């Protein structure tokens, strides 16, 4: 499936919202927020940073609250039940003030410099920008080999099922104009399968998108939250649900230009 061309008359973006879901990330959340803020400030990107605390039992919320006193662009969103990675991202996206948003991990696995590149690409008129760790110029550092093989298999399956060129659909680190986020609501995924739901909805509902190479580094502190053994059926469910939308909805959810 080929992306539509970007809108040449798209409005210039005024504020970037970065949504960071976090659960028990006291060892890295401060450096993630601080490094992101510095990078965006140095590149003159107007921004807000929303850290969604997804039921942490450590000092994550306390650290972000303290940070917000010195970095007014950062704020904490404490999310109650139900918990889950997908629920946390959806809650954050519902609270953004910007006209574009980036979803970023709390563990510094995503490169802050790529957020600036997302912002610039969105301002070319694209509705969404998808980063890929597997394009020329991208890369991964210290990726566990079992997870890497499963990742490549899952992404190959998605590419074949939907006939798309995107080769890193499962990566959460992506950027969207708010028009796309609103057009993809409501979100169905409670967990990490949201990383598949949001870009696939963007594509099959007719929004324009492009890809850029990005880099990823395995977390250096804390514990990975993605449990592969729990996610297979959830990924499959959302893929099949959206495959049915693509083929049977008769365009009911397609983007409507006004």
Instruction: Quick: pLDDT tens for 4-41.
Output: 777 656 778 999 999 999 999 999 999 999 999 999 99
pLDDT at residue 49 is higher than 90: yes
Structure confidence at residue 11 (pLDDT): 78
Tell me the average pLDDT across 217-221: 81
CA–CA gap between residue 158 and residue 1 (Å, rounded): 12
How many residues are recorded in the chain?
258
Show Cβ contacts of residue 180 under 8 Å, excluding neighbours closer than 6 positions. 127, 128, 202, 207
The DSSP result for 127-145, as a single string, is SEEEEETTSTT-EEES--H
Mean pLDDT, the chain, whole residue set: 93
pLDDT of 54 reads 95
Q: What is the pLDDT of residue 220?
A: 73
pLDDT for the residue numbered 87: 96
Which helix (H) or strand (E) segment is 21 a member of? strand 16-22
Domains of the chain, each with CATH number or no CATH: 16-248 (3.90.550.10)
205/98 Cα distance (integer angstroms)? 22
The pLDDT of residue 232 is 80
48's CB contacts (< 8 A; 6+ apart) are 15, 16, 17, 18, 73, 74, 75, 96, 97, 98
What is the model's pLDDT at position 230? 59
Measured CA to CA, the distance from residue 178 to residue 127 in angstroms comes to 9
pLDDT tens digits, residue range 144-197?
Answer: 888 899 999 999 999 999 999 999 999 999 999 999 999 999 999 999 999 999
Q: Beta strand 47-53 with 16-22: parallel, antiparallel or unpaired?
A: parallel
Of the candidates 255, 11, 207, which has an alpha carbon nearest to the alpha carbon of residue 124?
A: 11
Poorest-pLDDT segment among 173-177, 218-222, 232-236:
218-222
* Confidence tier at 227 by pLDDT (50, 70, 90): low
Six-digit token string for 219: 């977390």
Q: What is the pLDDT of residue 9?
A: 60
In this prediction, residues 110-116 reach a mean pLDDT of 97
Q: What percent of the chain has pLDDT over 70?
A: 93
- In angstroms, how far is CA 27 from the centroid of its own chain? 21
Give the C-alpha separation, 174 to 154, whole Å.
Answer: 18
Strand partners, 20: 51
Structure confidence at residue 1 as a pLDDT band (50, 70, 90): low
> What pLDDT is stored for residue 229 in this prediction?
57
Contacts of 237 (CB under 8 A, 6+ apart): 193
């Amino acid at each position: 499936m080929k992306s539509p061309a970007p809108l040449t008359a798209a409005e210039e973006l005024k504020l970037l919202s970065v949504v960071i879901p976090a659960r028990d990330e006291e060892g890295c959340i401060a450096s993630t927020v601080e490094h992101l803020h510095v990078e965006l400030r140095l590149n003159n990107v107007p921004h807000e940073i929303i850290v969604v605390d997804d039921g942490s039992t450590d000092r994550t919320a306390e650290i972000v609250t303290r940070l917000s006193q010195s970095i007014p662009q950062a704020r904490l969103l404490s999310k109650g039940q139900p918990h889950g990675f997908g629920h946390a991202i959806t809650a954050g996206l519902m609270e953004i003030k910007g006209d574009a948003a980036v979803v970023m991990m709390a563990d510094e696995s995503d490169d802050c410099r790529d957020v600036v590149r997302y912002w610039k690409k969105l301002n070319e008129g694209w509705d969404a920008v998808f980063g890929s760790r597997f394009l020329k110029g991208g890369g991964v550092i210290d990726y566990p080999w079992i997870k890497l093989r499963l990742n490549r298999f899952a992404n190959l399956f998605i590419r074949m099922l939907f006939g798309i060129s995107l080769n890193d659909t499962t990566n959460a680190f992506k950027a969207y104009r708010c028009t796309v986020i609103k057009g993809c609501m409501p979100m169905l995924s409670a967990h990490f399968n949201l990383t598949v739901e949001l870009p696939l909805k963007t594509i099959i509902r007719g929004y324009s998108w492009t890809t850029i190479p990005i880099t990823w580094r395995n977390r250096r502190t804390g514990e990975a939250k993605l449990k592969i053994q729990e996610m297979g059926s959830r990924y499959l469910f959302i893929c099949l649900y959206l495959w049915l939308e693509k083929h049977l909805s008769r365009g009911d959810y397609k983007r409507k230009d006004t």
